[in-house]
Structure 1
Amino acid sequence: MLRRQGPRDDVTAVGNSAVGGKALRAASTRQAVLDATDEMKGSLRDVEAALSRLAARPSDLWGFSLTGAFTRYLDHGSGQVKWMKGALGSATAFTDAASEVDDTDMELGLLRMAGPRLQAAQFGTLLLATWVDFLHLADAILRNCPMCSVEKLFTDLHRVQGLMEPTLTDLASLDPERVEAATLAMPELMGKLTREFDTLQRETRSTLKLGGQVIAAMQAVEMVTMISTMKMALPRVPPSAPATLGVGLVMSSGGVMAGSRLVVSAEWVELMRRLVQAGVISVPAVGAAVLIHGGQVTMAQAHQDLPKGVRDALGDSPEVRGMQVTGRAGAGMSDAPKHHVLPQEHREWFEQRGFTGDMDIDQFCVRLEQAHHEAIHGGGNWKLGRMWPGEWNRMIMEALHEAEITAGRRLTRNQVLDIVVERMKVYKVPIAFTKGSSR
């Protein structure tokens, strides 16, 4: 693995204390989140540009193009771009907030909050790029195959859109559990899309042959497949299918093999490793990405084990050996109650101190075991619990009010977070935030 290392003096200095090591880890994670965000923004810009070029193309001699009845499919792609930009914007907001807090545990907690948004944008962009491939193929068919059924093409695109819609909806929700479930289902979905794409292309070739079209028309349709991003994004089709999907897969000399195909660069693997170890991105998500790029449509070779290709790519380290592809419980998404770290009844107070938008108090929830949740609230009866000075909501608000009296002004959002995280450590509340619901 290619690891970025600072000067020896810097490494030695921070290595002499646990605090310095934690700060270094937080800084490394923050940079990894920034790098991943920038990479996804670039990919999304490329997809958006492709949609714009398709929309701007004039009609051909027969008057066919992706306009009129087909405009809805272009609009569908443009609509997906909006929420993906919003997800990346939210990830950036959490990263900026993380850089401003003093406590490194809270910094890592905020960076982990960016994880589901990065994950949703990553796989959403992959699906959107696939959709653009279908639009490119549809455009080539409309322009070069006048005897092809326009109605059938319209229906085919509608069917493909229907296959993608549930997954895109789950990703767009940005709910960690729904995003994780959609991620795990992505390899199977991409396999279906590969077959849909291949079937549409083969049917078009057959129609061109029956219609006696010139070779140039057939080459125009074939060229869509050759330049398609699917050769990078989609799994391999069965051996009986044409070998055009997946050809030309070329990476840098520092690439990593999964199975028999070169899938990702060593730099990408190192980036993912850092995000996985910090808890920003889940191992199943990285596994799904490698599976898709590696052309594998099955999630594992053994029950609950990560595929060998994924293990090889991430490195056969103790951290990876302890990770498994599991369901919600294994991914830390049990049905344990969600605890609002910032009391809901004081929502307006927190909003006045900057907890709005992506940083509203509903983002700062943690999952606790039922007994733990009841204990920090003074027992099962919350009304009686509030009479205990150590009850969570009462204790937090008293600490914050006292800090404001001492400062003689309103606390900033970061000051509030620094105070809250200290109480979380005392009460053994995990600094692993998830989105909760508002009352």
Structure 2
Amino acid sequence: MAFLGALDEVSVSSRRLSSELSRLEVSHPGVAGVGNGIFVRYVDYGERQLRWIDAELAAATRLATTASEVEDPDMQLALLRLAGPRLEAAMMGAFLMAVWFDFLHLTDAALSRHLYGVETLFMNMDRIQRMIEPTMTALSSLEPEQVEAAAQDVPALVGHLTGEFATLREAIRKGAEVLQKALALKEAMEALTMLSALRFSLPRLLPRAGPATLGVGFMVSSNGVMMGTRIVVSAEWVEMMRQLVRAGVLSVPAVSAAVRIQAGQVLMAEAHGELPRGVREALGDSPEVRGMRVTGKTGAGMAEPPRHHVMPKEFREWFEKRGFTGEMDINKFCVRLEQAHHEAIHGGGDWKLGRTWPGEWNRMLMKVLRDAEVEAGRTLTRNEVLDIVARYMKEYRIPMKFVRWRGP
């Protein structure tokens, strides 16, 4: 339920951003109507990013649905953990797209009211895109290490972009003041020379930039819950994040980034490594949280152990016929094992000799699955295969924490 709740929060934000981008795409004379539509490419860029975010949310939803249909509780949790990087990537991507939309909206307002130079605004959008793009690329890779590293950097990036936004907004405001003075002078001259009663419709001045974090737009609703552009910051939301962190579904860097961004500039500016105090307080003073540090295998001084296919890749076609395709491809069901453990379940260091041992993992698992089909008198469903795999993973003491295959 916590996972589905988090998915829903990000989905709502994604739909809202998509709707706003669609309106910008047809704005006139804003980003869609200036310079033969040269700014439309920036709206298109936002839409492309939202498409992959929506695709990952849909895939994560399908994995969550599959998890709810599997009987083994450990396999249920393993499937949610498999979907975790997709939710993390979508959540961080939605944060950055909200920032991107804020820049687009400001640019659209400046263009439609002729408050700032077209060329300067165009180059500024290009520069902001180049700042955001590496992080978006890392997030869309779905590699857990890349997603976590990118998530760790998102608060600092959002903080920097907030400063950039404030600077641009102030420059546009000053430009609007100059324009107002110029129009007032023009009006006075025409009144003197032509006795004109014309009253110019001057553009409304932009207010001075406030201290709020870019893309967040905090406001308090009638029930006292603080609403952000993307996420409801409430006790329920914090508890939802705490449950997902403790279950290993979401990583500490991703949740830390979300809390820090929602908390504003103070937490965003705190150093990496040790979790910020505000994040620890939000996630709760538990042993799990106290022991958490934002670090990877390099920071821990460890080499990455081998990745073992739980479902033998030489029988890929057999598994594909039983529904293991797409996000359920057998390459998604690998586990990290220490070298000794990996060799042990395959009958020792020589895999050819190991295959002659009836207890060798691949040989044993395929026999069990085929025997189950003979007994059932039909082809096993994907969920039935998962329940059998889960049972024997426990027997062989294989950790039920899946990672993606990195080989060919």
In structure 1, what is the Cα distance between the partners aligned to 2:88 and 2:304?
Answer: 21
> 1:353 aligned to 2:326?
no
- The partner residue of 1:48 within 18, 22, 26 is 18
Larger Cα Rg: Structure 1 or Structure 2? 2
Q: 1:409: Cα distance to partner?
A: 1.3
> How far does the alpha carbon of each residue in 1:307-326 deviate from its partner, in whole angstroms, 9 at most, with x for none?
11111111212222222222
Aligned to 1:162: 130
In structure 2, what is the Cα distance between the partners aligned to 1:214 and 1:277?
Answer: 61
Describe the SS at the equivalent of 1:114. Answer: helix
Q: TM-score normalised to the size of structure 2? A: 0.87
* Residue correspondence of structure 1 range 151-230 to structure 2 within 5 A: 151-211=119-179, 212=181, 219-222=204-207
Letter in 1 for 2:8: D
| 1:300–1:307 Cα contact (<8 Å) kept | no
In structure 2, what is the Cα distance between the partners aligned to 1:182 and 1:101?
Answer: 32
Q: 1:430: Cα distance to partner?
A: 0.4
Q: 1:328: Cα distance to partner?
A: 3.7
In structure 1, what is the Cα distance between the partners aligned to 2:261 and 2:326?
Answer: 34
- Compared with structure 1, are the counterparts of its residues 41 and 234 closer, same or farther at alpha carbon in structure 2 (3 Å cutoff)? closer
Aligned length: 386
| 1:341–1:365 Cα contact (<8 Å) kept | yes
* Residue correspondence of structure 1 range 243-322 to structure 2 within 5 A: 249-250=219-220, 264-296=233-265, 304-322=273-291
* Residue correspondence of structure 1 range 363-382 to structure 2 within 5 A: 363-382=332-351
> How far does the alpha carbon of each residue in 1:155-191 deviate from its partner, in whole angstroms, 9 at most, with x for none?
1100000000011111112221211111011111112
Aligned to 2:103: 134
> How far does the alpha carbon of each residue in 1:94-141 deviate from its partner, in whole angstroms, 9 at most, with x for none?
111111111111111111111111111111011111101000011111
Q: 1:214: Cα distance to partner?
A: 6.2
In structure 1, what is the Cα distance between the partners aligned to 2:253 and 2:330?
Answer: 28
- The partner residue of 2:391 within 403, 414, 422 is 422
In structure 2, what is the Cα distance between the partners aligned to 1:438 and 1:159?
Answer: 36
**206-215 or 280-289, larger mean C-alpha shift:** 206-215
In structure 2, what is the Cα distance between the partners aligned to 1:395 and 1:309?
Answer: 49
Unaligned runs of at least 5 residues, structure 2: 185-200, 227-231
Aligned to 1:35: 5
* Residue correspondence of structure 1 range 72-87 to structure 2 within 5 A: 72-87=41-56
Letter in 2 for 1:307: P
| 1:272–1:286 Cα contact (<8 Å) kept | yes
> How far does the alpha carbon of each residue in 1:200-250 deviate from its partner, in whole angstroms, 9 at most, with x for none?
112222333344356986645439x67xxx945569xxxxxxxxxx7x643
Aligned to 1:385: 354
- Compared with structure 1, are the counterparts of its residues 214 and 249 closer, same or farther at alpha carbon in structure 2 (3 Å cutoff)? farther
| 1:184–1:285 Cα contact (<8 Å) kept | yes
| 1:234–1:292 Cα contact (<8 Å) kept | no
> How far does the alpha carbon of each residue in 1:257-310 deviate from its partner, in whole angstroms, 9 at most, with x for none?
xxxxxx921111011111111111112221111111212466786884211111
Aligned to 2:197: none
Letter in 2 for 1:58: H
Q: 1:335: Cα distance to partner?
A: 1.4
In structure 2, what is the Cα distance between the partners aligned to 1:89 and 1:380?
Answer: 41
| 1:113–1:433 Cα contact (<8 Å) kept | yes
| 2:177–2:205 Cα contact (<8 Å) kept | no
> 1:150 aligned to 2:118?
yes
Letter in 1 for 2:338: E
> 1:57 aligned to 2:27?
yes
Aligned to 2:85: 116
Aligned to 2:60: 91
* Residue correspondence of structure 1 range 321-336 to structure 2 within 5 A: 321-328=290-297, 335-336=304-305
Identity over aligned pairs, percent: 54
- Compared with structure 1, are the counterparts of its residues 357 and 331 closer, same or farther at alpha carbon in structure 2 (3 Å cutoff)? farther
| 1:95–1:114 Cα contact (<8 Å) kept | yes
Letter in 1 for 2:120: K
In structure 1, what is the Cα distance between the partners aligned to 2:17 and 2:224?
Answer: 26
- Compared with structure 1, are the counterparts of its residues 292 and 369 closer, same or farther at alpha carbon in structure 2 (3 Å cutoff)? same
Letter in 1 for 2:2: A
In structure 2, what is the Cα distance between the partners aligned to 1:187 and 1:334?
Answer: 28
- Compared with structure 1, are the counterparts of its residues 252 and 178 closer, same or farther at alpha carbon in structure 2 (3 Å cutoff)? farther
Describe the SS at the equivalent of 2:8. Answer: helix
Letter in 1 for 2:15: R
